[in-house]
Structure 1
């Protein structure tokens, strides 16, 4: 299934879920809170759900699917979709499918105080992935949710009201202060373990702000008396003729086997022992290593910082003592929703970031970025998300005002996409999503903000 079809499939299941919950719990309100694994976490506003109740919801949703119910929807002028489920009127930002009978692949998992609705695996449309409780990811979402609730911010309209009151600087200060506090806390944890930890490994999906995070973490490590030394996994690529091929016969640069793993392991072990090594420098133009590498030596007060998509994969350097590694997962876990039924997808937030960044710094038009996105997503599902719970700590790089700040930049680019473009529907969806966010002035945005990685003006070389 294409990414757009997957969105419609999921929206249809969510509509069925809303109808079932309204029947079973008429005095309650369902909240579709946030994405998690291959699904979404949901809960009731005022009640805890038992495992038996969740199973009952699943059975009723399965009956709705088997009944092959028609799903009525029509587009509105504002590009939302007006849907009817058992006489309940619901507005959605994704169009549903026409009937429920095609929605046979799903599963509900009791996850107190609510549940997770699991969708088919993005890479295998007829399979529900085995459920492994995402304890660290869930805790990160919960922490952000509590913070937003303490600020009395739960939906997009709350942030819009602050911007309309000309108090956007308060939003910027609060969000940036939270980032700095979390980064400082991570640096403190690493410093406390400095006798053991010699390598920091950072990973996360596309457009999560990993580069700026690594720079800001390095600054905090220096404040603590440690000297970070960057080591790029990109320099350990194999030559083109040794690179594995994907199912389409193309070079699979996202594969772990595209890296020279024995050389990487040998260099890391040698550096930790205080030995000198000559690390490679990869020339991406010719697809070969440069004849001369870079000499490196790790002093006692220095610590390696390694960033890359495979950084959390246990098979990257299996010979390295786990106690000598500190693993960090970075992702933009945006949690301000439009309303209880329409959440803002973290994937959409990252895509909007990437569209703006690619155009600003890489001269890439939005059509090309959209064309590459499905491949990017496949790589993330195969190489990043399965290992996120390997992290010692997770950092949420989202900023509660970021779509307000990104809107003028992204809107200008997305409007240029014409109906003839195969990605026009996705562009329209992103424009619809952005329309809920009041634009804001970014002139006072700090130069070390993660958002500067996408908008420009960063104090770091990103």
Structure 2
């Protein structure tokens, strides 16, 4: 197998990164040529902290992530080695005891808040995308997601957004847009951008089969 292509997808919280990743996974699920690696699964383990301490963690700061492990895992995949990817438990605010085995693939889709902000991750990406979605749309999506899927209260989501999410986005996420090769407005709803991305991935997979 030739060296896998790494596509980095960055953008604000609930901007549509996961939507793009999910559509790519669905498109290539049968071929098994694309794997999705989410930076969210690489939040640092907090099992030794109390729940009160975990809740106070700033999850929207780059320091919240174990990027060294993420880089190590990506380098293993690039060498054709399978990895045991961590899984994060968003209800209990710590790393799950379970892991997921990820096998090498032609294309690795790497998505997360700080994929372009972190130089070590950015340098591994062959294609760098930034999903650019209006702040009000991102907030509404995040509110619905965190209440329905992550067991949060409405008040806690609003407070977190006001105290950390918005501030960290302006400090770290938004400036990383300058590193993007392609900016995709509105995430997975941008069918034109998605079609172009699929065309590029398909051509790479075809080349690797030669």
The two structures have a TM-score, normalised by structure 1, of: 0.34
Whether the 8 Å contact between 2:114 and 2:172 is mirrored in structure 1 is yes
Match of 1:213 in 2: 20
Distance in 1, matches of 2:151 and 2:67, equals 33
Give the match for residue 378 of structure 1: 167
Q: CA deviation at 1:207?
A: 2.5
Contact 1:312–1:388 (Cα < 8 Å) also in 2: yes
Provide the rounded CA distance (Å) in 2 between the counterparts of 1:347 and 1:208: 8
Q: Is the CA contact (8 Å cut-off) linking 2:132 and 2:184 kept in structure 1?
A: yes
Aligned to 1:326: 127
**295 and 313 in structure 1: CA distance in 2 versus 1, 3 angstrom threshold:** same
Q: Pick from 115, 119, 122 the counterpart of residue 311 of structure 1.
A: 115
| CA distance in structure 2 between the partners assigned to 1:360 and 1:242 by the alignment | 27
1:254 corresponds to: 60
**Cross-structure match for 1:275:** 81
Describe the SS at the equivalent of 1:293.
strand
Which structure features the higher share of strand residues? Answer: 2
How far residue 380 of structure 1 moved from its aligned partner, in angstroms, is 0.8
CA–CA distance in structure 2, aligned partners of residues 367 and 286 of structure 1: 17
Structure 1 residues 316 and 377: alpha-carbon distance in aligned structure 2, compared to 1, 3 A threshold: farther
Change (3 A) 1:242 1:197: farther
2 CA distance for matches of 1:391 and 1:234?
Answer: 20
Q: 1:387 aligns with which of 176, 189, 193?
A: 176
Decide whether the 8 Å contact of 1:204 with 1:330 is kept in 2: yes
More helix by percentage: 2
Contact 1:230 1:306 in 2 (8 A): yes
Alpha-carbon distance in 2 for matches of 1:363, 1:236:
20
The DSSP-based 3-state class of the residue aligned with 1:240 is coil
Contact kept? 1:197, 1:326, Cα under 8 Å: no
Counterpart mapping for 1:216-255 below 5 A: 216-220=23-27, 222=28, 227-240=33-46, 250-255=56-61
Equivalent residue, structure 2, for 1:121 = none
SS of the residue corresponding to residue 384 of structure 1 reads helix
- Kept in 2, the 8 Å contact 1:256–1:316? The answer is no
Give unmatched runs, 5+ long, in structure 1.
Answer: 1-194, 244-249, 333-345, 399-447, 451-462
The separation in 2 between residues aligned to 1:242 and 1:366, in whole angstroms, is 27
**Alpha-carbon spacing, 1:326–1:242, altered in 2? closer, same or farther (3 Å):** farther
* Preserved contact between residue 9 and residue 129 of structure 2 (Cα < 8 Å): yes
Q: Give distance in 2, aligned partners of 1:216 and 1:209.
A: 11
Q: Distance in 2 between matches of 1:328 and 1:368?
A: 30
Deviation at 1:397, TM superposition (A): 0.9
CA contact (8 A) 1:226 1:303 kept: no
251 and 367 in structure 1: CA distance in 2 versus 1, 3 angstrom threshold: closer
Residue pair 2:38, 2:112 contacting (<8 A) in 1 also = yes
In 2, the alpha carbon distance for the partners of 1:264 and 1:278 equals: 11
Structure 1 residues 394 and 219: CA distance shift in structure 2, 3 A = farther
- Please tell me whether the aligned partners of residues 12 and 113 of structure 2 are also in contact (alpha carbons under 8 angstroms): yes
Indicate conservation of the 8 Å contact 2:60/2:165, yes or no. Answer: no
Count of residues paired in the alignment: 181
- Does the 8 Å contact 2:4/2:78 carry over to 1? no
| Cα deviation digits, residues 190-239 of structure 1 (max 9, x gap) | xxxxx66522221111231222122223345x39x772111222332222
Partner of 2:72: 266
Shift in Å, 1:368: 4.3
